[in-house]
Amino acid sequence: MIYTLTLNPAIDQMISVPNFQLGATNKAKDQYQILGGKGVNVSVMLQNLGHKNMALGFMAQGEAAQFESYLKTKEVVSDFHKIAGHTRLNLKIRDLSNNQETELNCLGFSISDTDEKALMDVIKKYLTKEDILIMSGSIAPGSSKNLYQTIAQFCSENQITFAIDATKEVLLSTLQYHPLLIKPNLAELNEIFSASTSFNNIEEVTNLAKKLLSSGAQNVLISNGGQGSLLVTKDQSYLANAAKGTLVNSVGAGDSMVAGFVGTYSKTKDIRESLLVASAAGAATAFCQGIGDLDLVEKLKAQIKITP
């Protein structure tokens, strides 16, 4: 079984604005809402691809029923530890004149030591060495800074495979426990190493990824939107081109890539096929409102070539 972990769920408010201007009144042309958080997005894409999974983590009592209803419609089973308070709201503003996105991520509920212990009890209740845990996203205010590291250590000590998609310090703290997959985008990779490389210098990007392999990661998947993605393993590096389509929103695209890779690899152990599905899944979500469906993923796979 694959389990996902969301420590800081979100309600993403997607707003499209013609010629967005700072310091001015802007009128939306289109808007819609996505219930998510990175782990929730991973769960939905896993299910869309046919991989049964369970969503774990924290959930605000104020919106718990709304999230659970949403996941039920997606046929995702969940067992969240409920927290008093409300889910954070994230505003994603897309400028239709240049396709640039501006994000404003708000604060949500805070958690306590008691909440963390309850979460660990849930994780220990379900996970065995036959399972995979995907940890995704930020941690909620009040969380221990080493919470992901603690969970990664538990996985390592109990022979549980895990993948992680998180930012700099949190990500680096887990590498000693050898995650199956980490997925920084290019900007996050540059942040980790205080670099400024680009996909125009793929050798330099590869060398940075190899440093993460040396620190313990088994596979490093680096995404860069319309320029495609790079997968670096201990044996080989693979490039995947980006599928062609109209960007609707980028929210959940990286999460969909993680779902595509881990779900496929869990069944096939085929690195190339896992990268292919990951790339198509990420594009499918970028080209629609919400999380992409299986039909679109299959259609986009035909556009993607893996080299070498």
Phi and psi at 5, nearest 5°, equal -130, 120
> Does residue 99 have a pLDDT over 90?
no
Q: Are the C-beta atoms of residues 48 and 291 closer than 8 Å to each other?
A: yes
Distance in angstroms (rounded) separating the CA atoms of residues 296 and 304: 13
- Find the CATH number of the domain harbouring 67: 3.40.1190.20
> Does residue 114 have a pLDDT over 90?
yes
Any alpha helices (H) in 147-230, and if so which ranges?
147-157, 168-174, 186-193, 202-214
Q: What confidence tens digit (pLDDT) does each residue in 193-235 have?
A: 999 999 999 999 999 999 999 999 999 999 999 999 999 999 9
Distance in angstroms (rounded) separating the CA atoms of residues 81 and 65: 13
Q: What confidence tens digit (pLDDT) does each residue in 141-181 have?
A: 999 999 999 999 999 999 999 999 999 999 999 999 999 99
- Other beta carbons within 10 Å of 189: 23
Counting the structural domains of the chain, the total is 1
Here the tokens at position 293 are 């469906």
**What is the separation, in whole angstroms, between the first and last Cα of the chain?**
31
> Does residue 254 have a pLDDT over 90?
yes
Q: What confidence tens digit (pLDDT) does each residue in 63-95 have?
A: 999 999 999 999 999 999 999 999 999 999 999
> Does residue 298 have a pLDDT over 90?
yes
Sign of CA dihedral 194, 200, 204, 209: positive
> Does residue 299 have a pLDDT over 90?
yes
> Does residue 249 have a pLDDT over 90?
no
Classify burial at 100, counting beta carbons within 10 Å of its beta carbon; exposed 0-12, middle 13-18, buried 19 or more.
exposed
Q: What confidence tens digit (pLDDT) does each residue in 11-48 have?
A: 999 999 999 999 999 999 999 999 999 999 999 999 99
Beta bridge partners of 163: 134, 181
> Does residue 51 have a pLDDT over 90?
yes
User: What pLDDT is recorded for position 80?
Assistant: 97
User: What pLDDT is recorded for position 125?
Assistant: 97
Which sequence positions are flagged as catalytic? 255
Non-local CB neighbours of 78 within 8 Å, separated by 6+ positions = 43, 54, 55, 56, 67, 68, 71
Domain that holds residue 289: 2-307
